[in-house]
Amino acid sequence: MMFGGRVNPDVLRTHCRLYEDMNKEPMKLTEGDKRLVGLVAVGLTDDEIATQLQIPKHKVLNQIARLLAKLGIRDRVEIVLYAYSDPAMYQRISTEVLNRTTKNPQAQTPRVKQKAS
């Protein structure tokens, strides 16, 4: 199900049970791979990913192709399903979505009161 051109995370979580076997042996993804998985999972286009990573679009396509091969999957939908089936990746995506959709992300961060010296 799509809302506003983005994939509904609730629908994806329902279908992630199919990918539980993939997480029995965790993939060794680099920090760059994890960031790319997160950007794909939140529904960014290739152009938007290129802007976020500050690299040309053709490099984004190459990195996605490499990631697909590394995970042994066929398309971006499976990247999304993989991302939502991994609890750590799901947390990362949730944080990114919250930061992108909140007008003032700092408002969500509790402030610690400092003692007067």
DSSP, residue by residue, 23-57:
GTS-----HHHHHHHHHHHTT--HHHHHHHHTS-H
pLDDT tens-digit map of 63-108: 999 999 998 899 999 999 988 888 888 888 887 766 765 544 444 4
Q: Which structure tokens are listed for 21? A: 């076997």
Angle at 89 between CA 53 and CA 94, to 5 degrees: 80
pLDDT of residue 4 exceeding 60: no
pLDDT band at 110 (very low <50, low <70, confident <90, very high): very low
pLDDT recorded at residue 48 = 92
Class level of CATH domain 2-100: alpha beta
CA 111 to chain centre: 27
**Collapsed DSSP state (helix, strand, coil) of residue 6:** strand
Q: pTM of the full predicted structure?
A: 0.63
Q: What tens digit of pLDDT does each residue of 33-61 get?
A: 999 999 999 889 999 999 999 999 999 99
